[in-house]
Amino acid sequence: MIFSGESIYKSYGKLEVLKDVSINCKAGDIHGLIGANGAGKTTLFKIFLGLVTPDSGTVNFFSTGAKKAGGIIEKPALYGYLSASDNLKVFAGIQGIALQKKQVIEALHRVGLSQDRKDPVSNFSTGMKQRLAIAIALLNNPSCLILDEPFSGLDPLGIAAFGEFILQLAEKEGLCILLSSHIIDEMSRLCTHLSVLKNGKIIHSDSIDKSTKSLLKTYRFYGPRISESKVLKRFGAVGERNCMKLNIEAAEMPQLFNALGKEQTVVTSMIPDLNLDGLFKSESK
C-alpha cells in the first residue's frame, strides 16, 4: 500500500462536503474517482495533498521519500511568460531543489517534452501544459500522483495520448495514481479501481473489472445501413443511419450475433457505454 485515506469528514459551516470517505491505492494502481459536479472530488484531493485540513479522518502515505505526493488540482498553475525549463527551475526552488541542466532535461524527457523549446509556455497546447505540470508535480520523486480532471480542454487525440502517458507512469514507474474525470470511457480504460462519490459519500468502490461488469449493459453498434436491421430493432435498439444503441445483458449477446449473422447485417464495431446513472443510484457498500 502506498496511500490510504480513512474515514474523511469535511464540512463548511452546515454544508457536509465529505462524509466518511475512504480510499486506498497500491503502487502501479490507478484509482479512479467519478461523481457529479459538487460531489466533493476536488475537496477530497486537496485534503490528500495537504491543502485542506479534514474535520476528522486520517491520510497516510507509506513511502520513505522526501515528498509523499504531487498533483494537479483543476488547471495547471504555470508561469505563462516563462519557458518550460524556467518553470521547472522556479518550482524546484520553491520545493527546495536546485536543478542542474541535466536534471531539467531529464525531467522534461520523463514527461515527453523537448528541452529545445525556449518560448513561453503560454504558446504550449493544453496537453503540453498538463505534461509540464506533471513534471513539476514529480519533482522530489513522490510515490503518489493526484490528478483532478487532467483531460479537461483536450481533444479526443489529446485525451488518448495523455491517457497512455498516465498508464506508463503507473505501469513502468510504479506510481500510485489517484485520478478524477468525467470522461467515463477513458476512466474504464485506464483505471484499476473505481470509486463513485455522490453527495460527499462513496456509494460504490471496486476493481474496474467488477465495476464495468455491473455497468456494461448499453452498447453502440456501428455498420453500413445498420439502422435498417430488423434484428436490432427487435432487440429494442434505437438510432439512425450507421449507429444503433442497445441495452442488452451479456447473456443475450450470442443470440443477438447469431441473428445478425443470419440477417447478414455487418457490424463494423461495437462500443460499450458505461451506465453512470445506474451506478449513481447504487446502494452504499
Whether residue 94 has pLDDT greater than 50: yes
Weakest-pLDDT range from 136-140, 176-180, 277-281: 277-281
Whether residue 57 has pLDDT greater than 50: yes
Whether residue 118 has pLDDT greater than 70: yes
Whether residue 250 has pLDDT greater than 80: no
Q: What are 195-241's pLDDT values in tens digits?
A: 999 999 998 888 887 776 666 678 889 999 899 999 999 999 999 88
Which amino acid does the sequence have at 203? I
Can you tell me the distance from the alpha carbon of 109 to that of 148, in angstroms, rounded to the nearest whole number?
A: 23
More reliable by pLDDT, 185 or 50: 50
Residue 283: the pLDDT is 43
Lookup result for grid cell 471496486:
206
Domain boundaries, the chain: 3-207, 214-280
More reliable by pLDDT, 260 or 220: 260
Can you tell me the distance from the alpha carbon of 280 to that of 203, in angstroms, rounded to the nearest whole number?
A: 7
Q: Is 86 helix (H, G, I), strand (E, B) or coil?
A: helix
**Mean pLDDT on 132-143:** 94
Whether residue 105 has pLDDT greater than 90: yes
Nearest to 131 by CA among 157, 158, 156: 158
Order of strands, sheet of 243-247, starting from the edge strand that comes earlier in the sequence: 238-240, 243-247, 216-222, 269-274
Q: What are 4-23's pLDDT values in tens digits?
A: 999 999 999 999 999 999 99
Residue 66: the pLDDT is 78
User: 176-180 and 30-34 as β-strands: parallel, antiparallel, unpaired?
Assistant: parallel
In the chain, what percentage of residues exceed pLDDT 90? Answer: 66
Maximum distance among all Cα pairs of the chain, rounded to whole angstroms? 69
Mean pLDDT (the chain) is 89
Domain 3-207, what architecture?
3-Layer(aba) Sandwich (3.40)
Reported confidence tier of residue 282, pLDDT bands at 50, 70, 90: very low
Tell me the residue length of the chain.
285
Can you tell me the distance from the alpha carbon of 21 to that of 10, in angstroms, rounded to the nearest whole number?
A: 10
What pTM does this model have?
A: 0.79
Q: What are 141-160's pLDDT values in tens digits?
A: 999 999 999 998 888 888 88
Q: Which CATH number fits domain 214-280: 3.30.70, 1.10.1740, 1.20.140, 3.30.920?
A: 3.30.70
